[in-house]
């Protein structure tokens, strides 16, 4: 059989790299969801306990969000028809931005098509080549890409190392140009919480812009899920707050919160905002409904944390490495099970799936070589019975595959 690479050698390097992934045992195929995103659902035709979803609060299939989407579609139609700056700003878009700004306790908000677009679009638009970015070494890829697009000079400080961040600020404090200090609120692969309060005070000391990506803290930390900035009581010291609508909020998109001037500037200069069609009315309406639920039902977040601490403790008792040894210690519903070897990790993930648990293997280049892991995420909607069943599968499969000693 003739391969595409043989017919079109221009892309043969892609085939070679995929072959390398297969040899390493880290090549994967996408799992396909057959029904709703839920604690127990069907992937690739198999019923499994789902420990891989970002649906922290179970809002993806909440009936109130579904009804809001249907009502908005009937009223506004299926799509917005244009980018926001031409003809695509609907009243419902403004309503969502105003709701998020009020929720966060800031002047204004702008919604982007994704959290990635929010991060990359903001960093690349508010800085230029004469400026400096000081970034945690484990910050999200969207921050890294935005920094590169800005053409600013990039300084990377060791993970959560306040002293190193200050050293870098001292190095550049007399250089011309603006300085941006940026961190994740919750780090997406290890589940640890960024030192947002300490970095915010450092930024204030040196006159730097302070930016926090709160994608995995949104709906998880702070009052009613307001995020890490609220958790640390530093709203007045953070200039740029980024959040997501794609995880705990249960829908799709990202947003940036801050001063009115910041948001008006992003309306004029953020390229993902300027050159992407705005959210469909249905998605916008589901987000509005989700924030209403966050305000009204804080017990969802309490259930999330109760499940999280129970799951972590049981994994630790069983002998799994859930961080804190060669990797940062998880402090949130993101609980990595550190395996190390990429092939062994992916084989373990596949064996877990065969045994009825969906838990995704993560290997290089998403995480460093030697630090491959199963990345699990707990939700508020998992029952204790489901958690115990998943723990039993983890332990039995781990012993069969050599991840734990039998």
Active site residues: 188, 216, 247
Which three-class secondary structure string do you get for the chain?
CCCHHHHCHHHHHHHHHHHHHHHHCCCCCCCCECCCCCCEEEECCEEEEECCCCCCCCHHHCHHHHHHHHHHHHHHCCCCCCECCCCCCCHHHHHHHHHHHHHHCCCEEEEECCHHHHHHHHHHHHCCCCCEEEEECCCCHHHHHHHHHHCCEEEEECCCCHHHHHHHHHHHCCCCCCEEEEEECECCCCCCECCHHHHHHHHHHHCCEEEEECCCCCCCCCHHHCCHHHHCCCHHHCCEEEEECCCCCCCCCEEEEECHHHHHHHHHHCHHHHCCECCCHHHHHHHHHHHHHHHHCCHHHHHHHHHHHHHHHHHHHHCCCCCCCCCCCCCCCEEEEEEECHHHHHHHHHHHHHCCEECEEECCCCCCCCCEEEEEECCCCCCHHHHHHHHHHHHHHHHHHCCCCC
């Amino acid at each position: 059989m003739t391969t595409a690479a043989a017919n079109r050698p221009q892309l043969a390097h892609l085939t070679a790299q995929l072959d390398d992934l297969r040899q390493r045992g880290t090549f994967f195929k996408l799992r396909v969801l057959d029904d709703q995103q839920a604690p127990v659902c069907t992937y690739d035709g198999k019923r499994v306990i789902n420990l891989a979803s970002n649906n922290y609060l179970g809002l993806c299939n909440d009936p109130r969000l579904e009804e809001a989407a249907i009502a908005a579609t009937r009223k506004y139609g299926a799509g917005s028809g244009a980018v926001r700056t031409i003809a695509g700003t609907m009243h419902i878009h403004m309503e969502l931005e105003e709701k998020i700004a009020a929720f966060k306790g800031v002047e204004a908000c702008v919604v982007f098509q994704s959290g990635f677009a929010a991060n990359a679009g903001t960093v690349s638009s508010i800085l230029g080549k004469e400026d400096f970015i000081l970034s945690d070494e484990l910050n999200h890829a969207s921050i890294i890409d935005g920094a590169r697009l800005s053409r600013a000079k990039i300084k990377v400080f060791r993970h959560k190392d306040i002293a190193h961040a200050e050293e870098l600020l001292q190095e550049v404090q007399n250089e011309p140009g603006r300085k941006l200090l940026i961190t994740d609120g919750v780090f997406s692969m290890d589940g640890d919480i960024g030192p947002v309060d300490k970095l915010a005070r450092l930024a204030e000391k040196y006159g730097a812009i302070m930016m926090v990506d709160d994608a995995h803290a949104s709906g998880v930390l702070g009052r009613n899920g307001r995020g890490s900035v609220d958790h640390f009581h530093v709203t007045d010291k953070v200039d740029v707050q980024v959040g997501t609508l794609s995880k705990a909020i249960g829908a799709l998109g990202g947003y940036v919160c801050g001063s009115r001037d910041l948001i008006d500037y992003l309306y004029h200069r953020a390229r993902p905002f300027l050159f992407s069609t705005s959210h469909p009315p249905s998605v916008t309406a589901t987000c509005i409904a989700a924030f209403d639920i966050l305000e009204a039902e804080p017990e969802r977040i309490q259930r999330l944390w109760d499940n999280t601490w129970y799951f972590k403790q049981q994994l630790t008792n069983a002998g799994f490495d859930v961080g804190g040894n060669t990797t940062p210690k998880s402090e949130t519903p993101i609980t990595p099970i550190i395996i190390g070897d990429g092939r062994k990790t992916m084989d373990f993930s596949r064996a877990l799936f065969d045994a009825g648990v969906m838990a995704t293997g993560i290997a290089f280049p998403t995480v460093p070589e030697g630090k491959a892991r199963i990345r699990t995420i707990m939700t508020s909607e998992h029952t204790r019975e489901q958690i115990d069943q998943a723990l039993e599968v983890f332990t039995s499969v781990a012993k069969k595959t050599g991840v734990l000693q039998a």
